[in-house]
Amino acid sequence: MKTEKKERSRGREGSARYDEDNSTISPDGSPNRNHHNDEDHHHHDHYNRHFNHSGSDGATTNYSPRRPRGRAAAADNRRTQSERRASSRHGRLHGCRAMNPHVRAVRETATLLRREVKAFLRQYLGPGSKFDIPACTRCLEEDVLPGWGVSSDGVKDYEKFLKLTLRRETDEEIVDSDQYMDLISIAKRAREFEILLSGCQRRLHSCYDSHARPHLVSLKHMLPSTETPPPTSSHHDSSAKGDNVLNSVDQYEAAASHQAETVEHKLAELDNTYASYKETLRPFVEFVRSGDSHSSEMGRCCKSVLEVCKMLEAWAQGDHGYPESLVKELEEKKRLKESLQLTLRQTQLEKSEKSENINKLLRKEAKAARLYTQFKTIRERLKDRLAQLRDRDLILSEKLTTRREQLEAAREEREGRGDASPRRSQPSSSGEEKLEANIDNLERERRVTGKNIDRVEGDIKPTNDRAYENKVEMVTFRHQREETEKECRRLDGEIVSLRERIARLDELCERLVFIRELKISPEAYRKGLRQLRRQEALKADGSQDLTEACQQAAPALGKKWRKLYFYLPFDPPRDVDKRQRDVTLLDTIASRKDLTDNEVARKSLEKWRTFHRRGVVLDLSQALRAIHKSALATQIEKTFRAHALET
């Protein structure tokens, strides 16, 4: 029995090292069966010695020796941490980045499991570990079981078989046979495989659930919310592709999601394969008879484990290189920002030149308008003067015609009298002379008016031409100014768009730096996680949840409600003296009304809520953890979906 317990403990510790003194290795890597006929050795010690082999090169087996415990383990851990700190300092001095602890955990798990699985494959499923299954089945059914007096149904599995080898006597000739040794090897291989694969399953699921799935992520969900709108795409659409996205984050998020789905599918496939293998373990006779089948099942399970390890390592490698990809994208966005800043400066300079041109055009337009107004006024005056002169010329012409008619009438009247004496003819001749003089004056005045008309008509045409030219210049300058102003408005839109893109790039750069800091610094990650969970808790209106949480927590507090009351947060703050006065008052009420501790605890939480009206479930769970009620805090968080702050 002691030997059995010893073998079990060795098997559970994952050690395949039974005895190394009497095992030899053949050149092909298979164990030589050096059967001893010494009667002093029991047969189970005999197969223990011959079952072990270390590989073709005589190296150690697939399982590491037992780890030191107690002070030796503490000293070893301290030494390891010191060496790790030294190597970390050395790496920082040489520009190396410390590895994410979750990436390290995934890599270590994958490396260890791969080493164990490969060692198992090399030892138990290698070229030198082939068994004669029909011969082993005949030996079991015809020699071993009849010799023990046990039916085939009496041996349920390999554990029962190994126990019977320790408890029942077996003929020495059968013990020394290769078939009997193969039966023991098959049973022990099944036991080692179950130990190996159950451990691999547990550790792979633990590694995936504890390290890979929650921590090997893009951390996009931890980015703080922003109110900045996306930049407009009115300018340089071809270069605006990286203004509003985090390419490395999105690519890694898609890759991580795909890797998570692939690993989950492979783990499910591993679980199904192992479940189908376990169905072949009973009874042991059928298990031996289908040796080739369950050997292939073992190989498929080991292959699945190796594939999962490879996937996890690839995932960890991608996560380890994730900060470098963030840095590359950060540099790209900085270069894009510098290019946009250069474009912004050029656009601003162009707008400044356009503004100066607008001012010049305004001055030219004003000058042309002023000249046009002046010449237009002169032209109107000349036209008025010409009209006046023409009216005067018409009046003079009419007067001249009248005077000439009067002169002709006077001459005809004088000629009609004929013999008039000189005395009577004297007035007529003087009247004619006056008319002739008047006619001469009118003709002279008309000639002057004609000259003035010719002069004014000569002045009107160039004045009209100058007015037209200035009007054309004024309209031309106005159109040029309007086109330039339109161009300036377009440049204003470009400047606004460029500034928005630069601001967006600054924000994206800050986000990239934030995510990279979260990835490379565990302290920053924990701080960001606390802030995120605090924001999530504050976003939701948790008043009803807090009421129900207080009702759920009160019965479990008992007499510890006094201690809890001093750890609960208050907003506005409540000092210790006031809290002590509240506790004393609650004790007085409880003694007068004969209340139980649970009822007083509920009243204390209600009193806390009256002073702390903005409380959330998170505040209660933190206070419960402070008084060492972690189980209750976890239960409340799961019930009301609150998050505890990590420390």
HSE at residue 622, side-chain half, CA atoms within 13 A, is 19
Going from the C-alpha of 467 to that of each of 81, 179, 375, 476, 479, the distances in angstroms are: 96, 126, 5, 14, 18
> How many whole angstroms separate alpha carbon 407 and alpha carbon 415?
12
Q: Determine the pLDDT at residue 533.
A: 74
Q: DSSP per residue over 509-578, as a string?
A: HHHHHHHHHHHH-HHHHHHHHHHHHHHHHHHS--HHHHHHHHHHHHHHHGGGHHHHHHHS--SS---HHH
Of the pLDDT bands very low, low, confident and very high (cuts 50, 70, 90), residue 637 is confident
* Cα R_g (the chain), whole angstroms: 55
Instruction: Using the predicted structure, report yes or no on whether residue 46 has a pLDDT greater than 80.
Output: no
Q: According to the model, what pLDDT value does residue 538 have? A: 55
* Integer Cα distance of 242 and 230 in angstroms: 11
Which parts of 208-246 fold into alpha helices (H)? 213-215
Quick check: 223 pLDDT over 90?
no
For every residue of 412-476, DSSP letters joined together read: HHHHHH-S--HHHHHHHHHHHHHHHHHHHHHHHHHHHHHHHHHHHHHHHHHHHHHHHHHHHHHHH
Longest dimension (CA), the chain: 207
- Give the span between the Cα atoms of 423 and 432, in whole angstroms: 16
Q: Is the pLDDT of residue 634 over 80?
A: yes
Backbone angles phi, psi at 361, to 5 degrees: -65, -35
125: DSSP letter = S
User: Per-residue pLDDT for 516 more than 70?
Assistant: yes
Which backbone phi and psi does 545 adopt, to 5 degrees?
Answer: -60, -40
Tens digits of per-residue pLDDT, 577-622?
889 999 999 999 988 888 888 899 999 998 898 888 777 888 888 8
Residue 430 has pLDDT above 80, yes or no: no
Question: Is 34's pLDDT higher than 80?
Answer: no
Q: Taking each helix axis as running N to C, give the angle between helix 422-520 and helix 322-417, from 0 to 180 degrees, rounded to the nearest 10.
A: 180
| Residue with tokens 């924000």, as numbered in its chain | 507
pLDDT the model gives residue 357: 95
Map out the domains of the chain as residue ranges.
Answer: 2-64+100-320, 345-415+425-520, 526-640
Q: Which helix (H) or strand (E) holds 335?
A: helix 322-417
Instruction: Using CB atoms within 10 Å of the CB of residue 505, give its burial: 0 to 12 exposed, 13 to 18 middle, 19+ buried.
Output: buried
Phi, psi of 25 (to 5 degrees): -115, 130
Q: For residue range 112-170, list pLDDT tens digits in order.
A: 999 999 999 988 888 777 788 888 888 888 878 888 888 777 777 778 788 888 888 77
In terms of pLDDT, which residue wins out, 527 or 25? Answer: 527
Question: Structurally, what CATH architecture does the domain formed by 345-415+425-520 represent?
Answer: Orthogonal Bundle (1.10)
Per-residue pLDDT at 11 exceeds 60: no
Phi, psi of 466 (to 5 degrees): -65, -40
Cβ atoms of 129 and 181 closer than 8 Å: no
Fold classification of 526-640 (topology level): Death Domain, Fas (1.10.533)
pTM: 0.57
User: Is residue 515 within 8 Å of residue 249, measured between CB atoms?
Assistant: yes
Per the CB < 8 A criterion, the answer to whether 647 and 542 are in contact is no
Q: What token pair was written down for 374? A: 């002046």
Whole-number pLDDT of residue 303: 92
Identify any residues that bridge with 413 across adjacent strands, giving them in sequence order.
Answer: none
**CA–CA separation, 120 and 115 (whole Å):** 9
Task: With a cut of 70, say whether residue 384 has pLDDT above it.
Answer: yes
In eight-state DSSP terms, residue 140 is I
Q: Could you report the per-residue pLDDT of 268-318, keeping only the tens digit for each? A: 999 888 888 888 777 887 888 877 787 888 888 999 999 999 999 999 998
> What pLDDT was estimated at residue 292?
76
| Closest C-alpha among 601, 536, 539 to residue 564 | 601
